[in-house]
Amino acid sequence: MHAYAAPLSVPPTGAFMDLCRLYDVLLTEEAPTLSDTARMDLRAFARLFDMAMEEACEAEVWAAVRRRLEDDLASGLQVAAEWVYEDQKQAA
């Protein structure tokens, strides 16, 4: 199963757009103001994707994370068959 798979009824684009609203300022301004929490969360996203970006600035980190998220969303977040719910009668 893909690490970011969600139920097919939940469109993932809303959360992605929220992240873009928060972090895209890094790509357009020289000295954007981000909270410490937002900065730590951004670094956590990079670690989740196994990106070695400890020395990179926040703008570089967001650019890489954003590309990765866009790629994942474009692929449709495929869910493998082995991760479907069992029939309740079989599970009991």
Q: Whole-angstrom Cα distance, residue 10 to residue 63?
A: 25
Please state the domain count of the chain: 1
The per-residue pLDDT for range 40-88, each reduced to its tens digit, is 999 999 998 888 888 888 999 999 999 998 888 776 554 444 445 555 4
Instruction: Record the pTM.
Output: 0.65
State the DSSP code for 56: S
Domain annotation covers residue 69: yes
Domain annotation covers residue 18: yes
Q: Whole-angstrom Cα distance, residue 73 to residue 53?
A: 22
Domain annotation covers residue 6: no
Q: Whole-angstrom Cα distance, residue 56 to residue 78?
A: 31
Domain annotation covers residue 1: no
pLDDT of residue 83: 47
Q: Which domain holds residue 66?
A: 13-79
Domain annotation covers residue 88: no
